[in-house]
Structures are given as structure tokens and as C-alpha cells.
Structure 1
Amino acid sequence: MAASRRDPARDYRIVGPDSFLFFLGVFFIFAPVMMLVVTVPRVEPPPLNTILWFGLSGLMGAGWAYTSVKRRWWYFLTLVVGQLGMVVVFSGIVRTGLVFRGAGISLLGAGSVVQLALGYVLMVWFIRREGVQTLRLRAEMDLARGIHEHLVPRVALRTPIVDVEGVSQASTEMGGDLLEAVERPDGSMEIVLADASGHGVRAGVLMAMLKSAMHASRDRDEGLSAFLARLNRIVTDLREPGMFVTLAAARIAPDGAMTHALAGHLPILLRRGGAVIELEEGGLPLGVVREATYERGATTLEPGDVLLLCSDGVTEAAAADGELFGDERLRAALANAPDGSAQSMRQAIEAAVDQYTGPRPLADDRTVLVVRWNGRA
């Protein structure tokens, strides 16, 4: 389910106090550049001097980088002594066997070096701090991805009488869709597809709570209407303000008798022969009105019937021009899917969506569940 529109004011809050070190470091690094350009002597130094100066300066820079990583006090002391020694040598105070032209210490040059060093230190501080935050965020996102994979695993259930296949693709590390197909104590199969408003961690957490509530009451002897009404009360009590959940559920008995109910979700599509039928009985999304009631529908599946449940990430998938895939194209994709296994039909429907949208990142979580009823042999 698509998230709410982003706050435009956020664009003006991206650069905050935490980024001050970065910009201060950039300032000190570039501040002396123009002065160095206009004050470099026009007389070229001997090649040996040039190579030596650049080499020693580079080594000192690498030494400071290494020291900033290791953070050993004696590394720092060694570098300070070494750099002071270089200043003394190049200033002509201590004579060596090499010839150095332009001897003497320039206050302007020394100040430029200090600014460059200070800018470098500030940049290192900033990068180290941002690196820690980035690694922490990456670890949290990896954890969220693992939680999502555990909460919404691929559904693949095949028996002589039924073939079920479902996959949920999250648009972020942690999606807000829920997908389940389980056998109940009475021998019936329960199929649930739910979609929380928005996506990301908030939606994923709400789905985790919903899944826990479903599992805790799976042994209850209650119909779908009572099942959805109880889930609605739980979601209403636990959700954050403004959040809700749409849900489609069906229970299929071993003899093919099926009950179904919706909570503000897309209709369940039933393909029978060459026709596609919408099963729409239900009520409001979960979490909107605490005492909402839910109508239950019933039908009997025939051999060869196919059920399709999906989230609005399918119907709201957009092409390059912004036009949505929509309900009619979804019905056509189901009607035209080659007759075969539930997996092949799911793949055909997803291929139709991908062909329509082109190679575009998912804007919302996309979940597709196909049930093929074979009937008793």
C-alpha cells in the first residue's frame, strides 16, 4: 500500500549540525588552494628536489591517515617529530648534502599546510563518525530484511487436491504485506493475504503483530466473520494513528467448500473456465472502526478453478507514463495465464505486470498468491 506523500520541508533539513565537520573540513582544505597557486615560484626546482618534496609530503599524509586509524600516541609523536624535522631541513637551518633552493620558512606556506592538515583531520573525524552510523544502519536494515523473510516466506504447498504458490516482494528492506497458507485443525486450508498502509519498518511491525494474533487464535473454532472482527479489534488497539490493514482470507474444506471474506482488500478473483469472477463480500479495513462487522461469502470450488489474491502493489504498478496496471489488466492477466501449475500461473501474472511497467523499481510491496483447486482424485 503506497506511503503518504513526503514532507517537502525535509529537503531543507538534510544539512544539519552533524554535517558541520564535513563542510568545515572542505573549507580548510580548499581555503589555501588559490593562495598556493598564485605564490608558487616561477623558477622550477631541480627534479630531485621536486620528487623528494612530493614523496615526503605524500608519506607524511599517509602517516597521518594511518595514525588516525590506529590512534596510538607514539605514532602521533613520531609524525610530529618527523614533520618538524622536515621543516628544519627544508628551511636550510640544518645543512645536508643535497641542495635546496628557496630555503627559509614561509609563514604563508606554513599556514597553508596547517589549514590542509586541519581540514584533513576534520574530514577524517566526519568520515569515521558517518561510517559508524552507516554500518549501524546497514546492520539494522539487514536485520529488518531477515525479519521480513521470516514473516513473509514464499508459500509453496502442493497436495493431490490443491496447489498453492505465493511470493511477496518488498519495496524496501522490510515490507508491509503478509502472506500465509496453513492447514487448520479441522482439515481445511486457510489462506490469508494482508497489506498494511505504507511500507517499511512501521508497516512490518504492524504485520508482525497481526501474524502473532492470527497464530495465537488459529485453534479457535470460529468462522471467518468472527475471525476478521477479532483481528480488527486487535489492530485497532495496537496500530499507530493513521495506520490500517486490508486483508483477504479464504478457507477451503477438503470437499471444495470455500468461505471467504475481505477487510477493505481487493476482491479475490476466481477463474472458472473462461470467466473471471470477483468475490467481494467483507467489510472495512482492519483498524478503522473497532466494532466493524464482516460479511462472509461462500462458494464450492470445482476441479480446475483458480483463485488469485494480490496486494495493491500489483494493480497500482505504474508504467513510464504514470498509468496504473489496474483491475482490468489484472483480470485479463489471470484469464490469459496458460493453464498449468500455480507457480507457472503466478509467474505469468507477474510477467504481465513487469512487461507493462518496464524495468522500474517497486514503488510498493507486491504480493501474488495463486491457488489451483484440483479436487479429489
Structure 2
Amino acid sequence: MIELKAFYRHVERVFEGLGPARSARRLAEQIAPRLLEHLGGALGLAAVQLYAREGGAVRLGRQWGASRPDLAEEIARRLAGGGADEPPWAFEHPAGRAGVIDVDDAGGPYLALFGPAPGDLRPAPPRGEFLSALGSLRYAIAQHLHRRALEDVLEQARTIQMSLLPAGRPAFGTFDVCGASLPAQRVGGDVYDWLALDAETLALVVADASGHGLPAALQARDVTVGLRMGVERDLKITRMVEKLNRIVHRSGLVTRFVSLVFGELEMNGNLTYINAGHPPPLLLDRAGAHELTVGGPVLGPLPDAVYKMGFAHVDRGAALAMFSDGVIECRAPDGAMFGTEGVRAWLEAWREGPGEAAVADLLRRLEAHRRGPTPEDDTTVLYVRRPA
């Protein structure tokens, strides 16, 4: 009799640490010897065989464990019977009990599992339990393939998202500009960017699509691409943001929105900006800390929203921090948030830069604050310093 808890622990071990398998056949080749290793005792397994369809026929590909007869004709006969008798199968064979499972329900490959040979005294479960175990194993394989496919999609999304982040650091006069973005999951909804509008103007943006994971990442991608296509030096930024708002609204994702802060920094330090429902950037200069709050609502919910343009000046010796809510809402174990005061303390410590070290220090401070490496929310910061 199969002890179920022990059996499922053994099934988990079959899949632990498996390398990437780009095909069902490769996965079958990986798990076949593990079935003998981890389930040989529970199911009384003596051999495992791998079969595949080739040119309309079923052929034996590989075998592990004891030598057993070729079941290709038996598998082909059962497959020819149509959907009325789909795997898994368990049947008695002159060489002992055998079971067959399909690794992929779209035409194989197939794994044949052999129990003890006649006269072999090793314990084996009753036929009904053996068939039930085969069904559980088939389900585990299907879940593993599904998870792998999803991981591949997420990895592709992460590659796309990371490719949208700006490479290196911009050369813009004496300004020191640096950014970083860390998703809470494999992919996230935060982005930052900088775009040279002309030799005298640099566009800066930080955006945060609501939610986490793939849907947020796709919406953040659309915002980034939209900005890169729509930014023009002679187009008022209010019109550009209003147009982007209508695009986000027409996406049909009514439960989702995007907060954004967009600015155009001139070489002389003049900064025009719009804050669309985003945590206010913090500008630190000799007069103190200033929050950049002018703008309008988040992008998406209101198609006819109107946005105002704000003005600031980045003096010599001043520093500007643009960030997502994952920074200020970073929580300590006791619930205390990092907050704007945490950002201000960091910015005061790094007013003189350099930017790369400043950004790295902020990420360390956030990790120390939450006392762990994994953030609850996506974390993004864009640091701008104008040397004295």
C-alpha cells in the first residue's frame, strides 16, 4: 500500500533542481532516471523506458534500469483506440506489471514504468493504487511543463522590460544622472528613462503602472514606448501627457492606472515638469527641500484630464530625486515606512554625489529598513545632481 505523504514527497524530489527543458522529450529524459531513484521503492519500479512517435509509428528511444521488453506495439495499439483509452495505463505483462504515462498530451513522448518481474519479491502496490500513482505523476509533469512555460514568458517579459531601461548614464553638461529599478517580482511596473531632446535639454521620467508582475510590466512598456515616440522639443509637455493619458485610458484596462512624473531639464538648470499622481520628486538646494507637486491625476481613469506644468530650478550644488512609491512606502518589520524623510536624509548625505554611489546607498538603506532583500513593491529611483 502506498503511503501518500511519503509518495508525494518523493514526487517533489523527482522535479527538484531540474535544469531547463525546452521540449517534453528532454524533460522525459531528465525525469526518467529520477523516477527509478525516488519512486523505485514506493512503486516497486525496476525499469523505465522512453517512447516517441516517429513518422506515425511508436518507437523505443531509451531505457533505464533492468532490461524489459519493447512495448512499442502495445502503446501504438492503445493509441489507435482513440480518446476512449488515453494514458495513463496500467496492465499486466509477461515481464511484470507495466504502466504508461504521456509526458505531453499533444502526442507524447511516453514513459513506460515497469514493476517487479514475476518471481521478484520486492514489494509493489496493488494495480489500482499503481494506476492512481501514475495519474498523480502525470499531473505533476503537466504542472511542471505549465510552470516552465510561464517562467519562459516571464523571462521574455523581463528581458523586454530591462531592454527599455536606459543603458549607461547620459552625458549632459556637468550634470550627474543615475537611475535604478528593482522589480518586486520577476517583472514589475516601474520604469525610468532619460531622453536627449536636443543638445540643451534632457527629458527625465519615472512611471509606475499599478499592480505587479506581467500586466503592470506590459503597461509600463507601453508608457515608455509612447513617451519615446511622442516626445518632441516643440510640443508642450502638457499636451504630450494629456495625449498619453488618453492612450492609457483607451487600453481598456479600467482597473489599472499609471502614475508618472515627467520633466524637461535644461542645461542652465531650468526644469519644467508634470506630476501625474506620482510621489512628488524631492529637490534639495541651499534653501532646503522642495516637493514637485504640480500636475494632475494619474493616467488612465479620466480621458479628459487636464494637466498643469510646474517650474523649478536645479541650482549649482543642488540634487533632485525622482522615485516610485516603493521607496517611500518601504516598510520596516514594525510597520514604519521609509518615507519622504528617509529620502531627504539620504539626499542630504549624497548632495555632492557621485550618483552611482548615491543610488547604490539608497538601495542598501531600503534593504536595511525592511530587514530583507526582497521588496514588497517595485523600487525605482532617478538621481540628478548639478555640481557646485
Aligned residue type for 2:289? V
Does 2:256 align with 1:227? no
TM-score (norm 1): 0.72
State how far apart, in whole Å, the 2-side matches of 1:324 and 1:62 are: 59
Aligned residue type for 2:236? G
State the 1:169 CA deviation: 0.4
Where structure 1 has 5 or more consecutive residues not aligned to the other structure, the ranges are 1-23, 31-55, 91-99, 101-108
**Number of the residue aligned with 2:211:** 198
Q: Which has the higher helix share?
A: 1
**Cα distance change, pair 291–220 in 1 and its aligned pair in 2 (3 A):** farther
RMSD (Å) for aligned C-alpha atoms = 3.3
Kindly indicate whether structure 1 or structure 2 has the higher relative contact order, using CA contacts under 8 Å at least 6 residues apart.
Answer: 1
State the 1:81 CA deviation: 2.4
- Note if contact 1:333-1:349 (Cα within 8 Å) is conserved in structure 2: yes
State the 1:283 CA deviation: 0.9
**Cα distance change, pair 129–59 in 1 and its aligned pair in 2 (3 A):** closer
**Number of the residue aligned with 2:165:** 152
- Note if contact 2:352-2:385 (Cα within 8 Å) is conserved in structure 1: no
- What are the residue-to-residue correspondences of 1:1-377 with 2, within 5 Å? 26=4, 61-63=45-47, 65-67=48-50, 72=59, 75-76=70-71, 80-83=93-96, 89=119, 112-153=125-166, 156-185=169-198, 187-219=200-232, 221-273=234-286, 275-337=288-350, 339-374=352-387
Aligned residue type for 1:61? L
State how far apart, in whole Å, the 2-side matches of 1:351 and 1:80 are: 64
- Note if contact 1:25-1:118 (Cα within 8 Å) is conserved in structure 2: no
Q: Deviations over 1:325-345 (max 9, x none)?
A: 122222222123362211122
State the 1:364 CA deviation: 0.8
**Whose radius of gyration is greater, 1 or 2?**
1
State how far apart, in whole Å, the 2-side matches of 1:160 and 1:219 are: 20
State the 1:167 CA deviation: 0.7
State how far apart, in whole Å, the 2-side matches of 1:345 and 1:137 are: 36
Q: Does 229-238 or 361-370 show the bigger shift?
A: 229-238
- Note if contact 2:206-2:324 (Cα within 8 Å) is conserved in structure 1: yes
**Number of the residue aligned with 1:44:** none
* Aligned sequence identity (%): 26
Aligned residue type for 1:256? G
Q: Deviations over 1:28-60 (max 9, x none)?
A: x79xxxxxxxxxxxxxxxxxxxxxxxxx98997
State the 1:124 CA deviation: 2.8
**Cα distance change, pair 58–82 in 1 and its aligned pair in 2 (3 A):** farther
Where structure 2 has 5 or more consecutive residues not aligned to the other structure, the ranges are 9-39, 61-68, 75-91, 98-114
State the 1:361 CA deviation: 1.7
State the 1:186 CA deviation: 6.1
Q: Deviations over 1:239-295 (max 9, x none)?
A: 401211111111111222221110011112111137222121111111122111111
Q: Does 342-351 or 316-325 show the bigger shift?
A: 342-351
Q: Which has the higher strand share?
A: 2
